[in-house]
């Protein structure tokens, strides 16, 4: 919670602004708000004029400047800065408890010019707390009946849930599970907003999704971290991010892996070959043939790479 809040740009700007106020209150003195008395009294602003004083009376401004001048501080400005400085500890304490305002919610409309929606714009908006199915699929606002909007992250392709990859030492690891965990880490418990132009043949929303609190583009972030790759068959906007991830050896790029669409193709071919050589019994146990909820099916289990 607090680490993510600290990472958000609006929060950091707010903290830095408050720190600046604190420093100003620490270094500013009444003398800093005094106007020189070398000008005629009539030329001074009303707040800087002072009535005649006895020679023995020395104002804070005079003491600070080491002269017998008779300027007077802008008390209103000085009092305001001191009051703001006293608020800093309370504001930081609230932020440290995770109770600071949801600054991400105040962000304007996302810039779609660097997304797969740059030419079409968005016709749909889906927003809510997501359940992460895999590295490129989420289900938003899933109810008790298992229903919810299934969203396929547009322009990227992540390893499938059961896909195995090779790490830098050639050892097998479950890259599909790692990808799913990476997306879960990005989202945490935050609300997600997905913008979309259309659905695919399986009625999945094809969306560019953002973390509402932090404003992070989840599609781009997954490619940046090497936990998904650019789905160039449908969009090339994330290719530069993929190249950077590859150069850093991030995620799947640290070793060898099959492109997710190639993995699905080989799996379908193997399944079709098995069906053609093995005769299944006509009658099956009803419990064994119960279909899984659509929201739980991964791309390879859906049986086709639906056009985006």
Q: What is the pLDDT of residues 269-303, one digit of tens each?
A: 888 888 877 766 665 554 444 444 554 555 555 54
Please report the pLDDT score of residue 270 as a whole number. 87
Nearest Cα residue to 226 out of 206, 243, 209:
243
Q: What is the pLDDT of residue 260?
A: 97
Q: What is the pTM of this model?
A: 0.60
d(CA 132, CA 138): 5
Q: 76-106 as b/e, with b when 16 or more CB fall inside 10 Å?
A: eebeebeebbeeeeeeeeebeeeebeebbee
pLDDT of 192-242, one tens digit each? 999 999 999 999 999 999 999 999 999 999 999 999 999 999 999 999 999
Tokens at 16, concatenated: 């830095």
Q: Cα(281)–Cα(279) distance, rounded to whole angstroms?
A: 7
CA distances from 230 to 202, 260, 278 (A): 21, 11, 37
For residues 123 and 83, the model is more confident at 123
Q: What is the pLDDT of residue 170?
A: 96
The answer to whether 187 and 180 are in contact (CB under 8 A) is no
pLDDT 10s digits, 47-57: 554 454 544 44
Which pLDDT belongs to residue 114?
92
The pLDDT value recorded for residue 83 is: 67
Residue 113 burial (CB < 10 Å; 0-12/13-18/19+)?
A: exposed
Which among 116, 111, 131, 140 has a CA at the least distance from the CA of 197?
A: 116
User: In 3D, which of 290, 35, 249, 238 has the Cα closest to residue 118?
Assistant: 238
Mean pLDDT of 63-87: 57
pLDDT digits (tens, 9 = 90+) for 174-193: 999 999 999 999 999 999 99
Q: DSSP H helical segments within 188-306, as ranges?
A: 218-224, 239-248, 260-277, 299-302
Average pLDDT over residues 144-160: 90
Reference 300, options 156, 185, 131, 134; nearest CA is 134
- Contacts (Cβ under 8 Å, ≥6 apart) of 24: 81, 85
């Amino acid at each position: 919670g607090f680490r993510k809040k600290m990472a958000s740009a609006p929060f950091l700007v707010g903290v830095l602004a408050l720190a600046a106020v604190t420093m100003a209150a620490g270094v500013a003195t009444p003398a800093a708000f005094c106007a020189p008395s070398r000008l005629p009294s009539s030329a001074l602003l009303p707040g800087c004029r002072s009535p005649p004083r006895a020679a023995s009376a020395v104002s804070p401004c005079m003491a600070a400047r080491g002269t017998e001048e008779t300027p007077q501080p802008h008390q209103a400005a000085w009092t305001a800065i001191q009051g703001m400085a006293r608020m800093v500890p309370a504001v930081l304490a609230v932020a440290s408890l995770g109770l600071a305002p949801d600054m991400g919610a105040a962000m304007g409309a996302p810039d779609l010019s660097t997304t797969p929606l740059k030419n079409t714009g968005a016709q749909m908006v889906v927003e809510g707390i997501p359940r992460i199915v895999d590295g490129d699929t989420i289900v938003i606002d899933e109810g008790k009946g298992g229903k919810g909007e299934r969203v396929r992250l547009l322009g990227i392709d992540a390893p499938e849930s059961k896909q195995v990859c090779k790490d830098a030492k050639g050892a097998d690891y479950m890259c599909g599970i790692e990808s799913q965990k990476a997306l879960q880490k990005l989202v945490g418990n935050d609300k997600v907003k997905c913008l979309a132009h259309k659905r695919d043949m399986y009625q999945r929303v094809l969306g560019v999704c953002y973390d509402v609190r932090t404003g992070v583009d989840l599609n781009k972030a997954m490619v940046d971290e090497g936990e998904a790759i650019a789905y160039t068959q449908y969009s090339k906007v994330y290719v530069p991010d993929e190249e950077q991830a590859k150069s850093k050896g991030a995620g799947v790029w640290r070793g060898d892996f099959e492109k997710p669409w190639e993995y699905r193709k080989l799996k379908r071919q193997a399944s079709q070959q098995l069906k053609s050589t093995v005769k299944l019994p006509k009658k099956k146990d009803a419990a064994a043939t119960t279909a899984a909820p659509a929201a739980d099916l991964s791309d390879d289990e859906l049986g086709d790479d639906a056009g985006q």
